[in-house]
Amino acid sequence: MKTGEDARGEGSTGPQKLGLCVLCGLPAAGKSTFARALSHRLQQERGWAVCVVAYDDVMPDAFLREASARPLPSQWKLLRQELLKYLEYFLMAVINGCQMSAPPDRTEAMWEDFITCLKDQNLISSAACEAQSCYLLTKTAVSGPLFLILDDNFYYQSMRYEVYQLARKYSLGFCQVFLDCSLETCLQRNGQRPQALPAETIHLMERKIEKPNPEKNAWEHNSLTIQSPACSPEASLKLTDLLLTALENPVKCVEDNVEQKETDRITCSTNILHQADQTLRRIVSQTMKEAKGTLGTYRPGSRPDSAASPVSWTLGCTSASLQLEASSRRT
With a cut of 70, which residues of the chain have pLDDT below it?
1-14, 60-73, 127-132, 229-231, 254-275, 294-331
pLDDT of 255: 45
Q: 73-96 and 108-120 are packed helices; what angle lies between their axes, rounded to 10 degrees?
A: 50
Question: What's the pLDDT score for residue 308?
Answer: 47
Those residues whose C-beta lies under 8 Å from the C-beta of residue 219, and which sit 6 or more positions away, are 161, 164, 174, 251, 255, 256
Q: How much is the pLDDT for 9?
A: 41
pLDDT, position 7: 45
188 dihedral zone (left: phi>0; alpha: psi -120 to 50; beta): alpha
Residue 225 — φ and ψ, nearest 5°? -105, 130
pLDDT of residue 128: 55
Q: What is the pLDDT of residue 10?
A: 42
Which pLDDT belongs to residue 217?
95
Classify 328 as helix, strand or coil: helix
pTM: 0.71
Instruction: Name the H helices within the chain.
Output: 31-41, 55-58, 60-64, 73-96, 108-120, 139-142, 157-169, 183-191, 199-208, 233-248, 258-296, 310-330
pLDDT at 201: 92
Task: Give the per-residue pLDDT at 295.
Answer: 59
Task: Single out the residue of 327, 312, 21 nearest to residue 166, CA to CA.
Answer: 21
**pLDDT tens-digit series, residues 146-205:** 999 999 999 999 999 999 999 999 999 999 999 999 999 999 999 999 989 999 999 999
Predicted local distance difference test score (pLDDT) of residue 84: 96
